[in-house]
Structure 1
Amino acid sequence: MNTLCSNCGITMNFYASGNLFLYNEQCRRKPIEECMFMGPDSYVLPYDNLETLYINLESCSSKLIDEGWKCCISASDVPGEYLSIEDFLNKMKYRKMIEVIQKGDFVSYLQPIIDLENFELFAYESLLRSADPSQNLNPGELFIAASLTGFHSMLDQRARRTAIESRAVHIEKGVKSFINFLPSTIYNPEFCLKHTFSIVEKYGVSPEDLVFEVVETEKIEDVNHLKSVLDVYKREGMKVALDDVGSGFATIEMLSLLQPDYVKIDRSYISECDKNIGKQHFLKDVIHTARGLGISVLAEGIERKEELTFCKEIGVKYAQGYLIGKPDLNAQKPFVPAFN
């Protein structure tokens, strides 16, 4: 089996001017006149502005898609790799985000996590940001764009690398790092995670200080594959966590199957939990199940002292949120409100 994966190494060049090449294999079997829907230069169209090119191509995209056309752009008279019209338009639409991903110019913002038994610092979660503040990229939108354009594996790998590099500089040994990852980008965990493990070794980071946290916008369909990914992390001496329990695929029933070290409760169950009986029942059920499996529970999204107090009283082990500390480029000490 060939384990070489091209998903982390794809590239896309956006030339400010050049030629748009159109290709339709079916049209080769017809007289050329039947295929000329845009005039005599229907196969090679010069352009000098990417935005205008995108608008013009989008305006006739339905016809192009229906007729099975493919396209590409090049700065020369030689075409590159042809893409479907849908793929090409997505890459054009999100080209600024793709350029950021390809450059890999990221930093990690760090948000503190505290131990509710003693209110001491336990960990930081690493949150991806562009190194250029003027970009002002929303990480969620960045990952959506990466998924739509085929750059999600590259982005996920570079996000993990950035988190590990940042940890080596800003976080003391013994304080854990929660690092997000997308299971759908890891096709073969034995192969795809080698890069991450090499970065860990390069920077002398202790594996036991790393917690790799499953985040996924779409539902996980192959649970066995996810388990195999988590098992590889665990084998290397690292911890694993499930994010957003109570939302999406991360249900209580998954805890027994996947056996994570930590579960993070979706913030929708934490907000106003001190007032909402339904949320309180859910939280107590999660804690009861997790305790039976030896899993530690972490509440995220805590913004009020009352929420923090309630979570501590019912046995939540760890907590994070704006009340405790906002994400920052440097490892800021957590704030703990005074308790009477």
Structure 2
Amino acid sequence: MAPCNTCDSIPSPLARKGNLYLWPPTAHTLGKIRALKQRAKIKKAPNAAADVAAIAVDTGMLETLLLKLTGVLTEEEVKDTRALFMDSDREPGLGDFGHIRPLSELVAFSDSAWLMDILRENRLISHFQPIVFADDTGRPFGHEALLRAWDADGDMVAPGLLFDRATQAGVLFQLDRLARTCAVEAAAKYRLRGKLFINFTPTSIYDPRNCLRTTLNLIDTLGVDRSQIVFEVIETEKVADMDHLTGVLSYYRRNGFKVALDDLGGGYSALSMLPDLRPNYVKIDRALITDIDKKETKAVITRRIVDMCHDLDIQVIAEGIETEREEAVLRDIRVDYLQGFYYGRPQAEPVTEKLAPPQEPAA
């Protein structure tokens, strides 16, 4: 089976000149676009149907046009309008419809040259944060791989900005795939021992047999033990298609990997997934962990979650620990593993020896 053409290829930059075709959601939206064309004296593209707004884009004017469109349309109209930008004068055909996207995505993509450069030049690296045994915090159980990126000036790009813009610009598939391969390559380079937790967003994998093929091939080529890798579902509360997520996790398990759910306790939906998904590990949402030593209700809820997971043969990781007092409560609650700045911040190289005694982060 061939690798995924979407995940394994970085989109080319938009052409400097061409035709923009817009399919508005309502006649009212279409009227607003036509009024803008008249006011700005924008040329009409050829071969346009009556219900399509077709705009000829002169060299270097696409960004200006998109800015004008977002100025006259509401946020919902920008999201619901479908767009296709073509670098030729021919009428869109059946082969082009797979490239139609929300206008909001086209706007974000046109404003994301910095992100495309990062992806094309692979200016990415994995940092590792240790996860320790609760009953022996000097002994690493594993590490979570966390993606880091640099812009053209050498400044680090905030991970949240990186993934948010990738989602908006329609390149989350590509970023998620690069994050997975980056983590595997770094684990092989440092001969990582223990478990390797690799984050993934379920919506970035539409068919695991295709989308994960490059990752699986790399794991085997580099000689990384599949049982060492734990694929961790992030943004659990945003999962809308349980059948799709179940299929992805089943594919991971069939291929010898472990799976984890992140942010358990942050909302009801993640808890309701446990009977069907039965992950090997869960991570308790840090909102429950912070100040757990000061708020009895947090301790009570966390204890119930831990007991329930142990009854289901699921191991529990508490993340976000920053103080000795939080650690003491979690050990009493019988959490299996601990993670947080108290044991170490993410760093380029994983821990290969016994950890130094933990320290509380400076205020």
RMSD of the TM alignment (CA)?
3.4
Q: Does 1:233 align with 2:252?
A: yes
Q: Is the 8 A contact 1:264 1:298 kept in 2?
A: yes
* Structure-2 separation of matches of 1:82 and 1:260: 36
1:298: which partner in 2? 317
Which residue, 158, 178, 202 being the options, matches 2:221?
A: 202
Task: State the Cα distance separating 1:224 from its structure 2 match.
Answer: 2.7
Q: 1:6 to 1:336 in 2, by over 3 A?
A: same
Q: Does 1:59 align with 2:79?
A: no
Q: Is the 8 A contact 2:18 2:89 kept in 1?
A: no
Counterparts of residues 103-114 of structure 1 (less than 5 Å): 103-114=121-132
* Structure-2 separation of matches of 1:3 and 1:199: 14
* Structure-2 separation of matches of 1:331 and 1:156: 21
Q: Is the 8 A contact 1:219 1:249 kept in 2?
A: no
Q: Is the 8 A contact 1:22 1:72 kept in 2?
A: yes
1:221: which partner in 2? 240
Tell me the alpha carbon deviations over residues 180-216 of structure 1, each in whole angstroms, 9 at most, x when there is no partner. Answer: 0111222222332222110100111011111110112
Task: State the Cα distance separating 1:255 from its structure 2 match.
Answer: 2.0
Q: Does 1:72 align with 2:85?
A: yes
* Structure-2 separation of matches of 1:302 and 1:96: 34
Q: Does 1:149 align with 2:169?
A: yes
Q: Does 1:22 align with 2:23?
A: no
Task: State the Cα distance separating 1:294 from its structure 2 match.
Answer: 1.2
* Structure-2 separation of matches of 1:160 and 1:60: 40
Q: Is the 8 A contact 2:320 2:340 kept in 1?
A: yes
Tell me the alpha carbon deviations over residues 81-120 of structure 1, each in whole angstroms, 9 at most, x when there is no partner. Answer: 6755333212123332233234433110111110011221
Tell me the alpha carbon deviations over residues 42-99 of structure 1, each in whole angstroms, 9 at most, x when there is no partner. Answer: 443434477656544543556x969x7845375x989996755333212123332233
Which residue, 94, 101, 106 being the options, matches 1:88?
A: 106
* Structure-2 separation of matches of 1:306 and 1:47: 62
Tell me the alpha carbon deviations over residues 217-263 of structure 1, each in whole angstroms, 9 at most, x when there is no partner. Answer: 65222223222211221222211111000124653332232111111
* Structure-2 separation of matches of 1:220 and 1:323: 30
Q: Does 1:39 align with 2:41?
A: yes
Structure 2 counterpart of 1:46, one-letter code: D
Tell me the alpha carbon deviations over residues 292-332 of structure 1, each in whole angstroms, 9 at most, x when there is no partner. Answer: 11111100000111111111121011011011100111224
* Structure-1 separation of matches of 2:247 and 2:14: 37
Q: 1:10 to 1:61 in 2, by over 3 A?
A: farther
Between the two proteins, the alignment pairs up a number of residues equal to: 327
Normalised by the length of structure 2, the TM-score is 0.78
Deviates more, 1:314-323 or 1:228-237: 228-237
Structure 1 counterpart of 2:249, one-letter code: L
2:133: which partner in 1? 115
Q: 1:20 to 1:220 in 2, by over 3 A?
A: same
Structure 1 counterpart of 2:238, one-letter code: K
Q: 1:103 to 1:77 in 2, by over 3 A?
A: farther
Q: Does 1:336 align with 2:352?
A: no
2:116: which partner in 1? 98
Tell me the alpha carbon deviations over residues 109-136 of structure 1, each in whole angstroms, 9 at most, x when there is no partner. Answer: 1111100112211111000111557342
* Structure-2 separation of matches of 1:25 and 1:304: 55
Structure 1 counterpart of 2:170, one-letter code: G
Counterparts of residues 114-263 of structure 1 (less than 5 Å): 114-119=132-137, 120-132=139-151, 134-173=154-193, 175-216=194-235, 219-248=238-267, 251-263=270-282
* Structure-2 separation of matches of 1:223 and 1:236: 20
* Structure-2 separation of matches of 1:69 and 1:228: 30
Unpaired runs of 5+ residues, structure 2, are: 25-33, 46-55
Structure 1 counterpart of 2:11, one-letter code: T
* Structure-2 separation of matches of 1:128 and 1:140: 10
Give 3-state SS (helix, strand or coil) of 1:161's partner.
helix
Q: Is the 8 A contact 1:220 1:249 kept in 2?
A: no
Task: State the Cα distance separating 1:35 from its structure 2 match.
Answer: 10
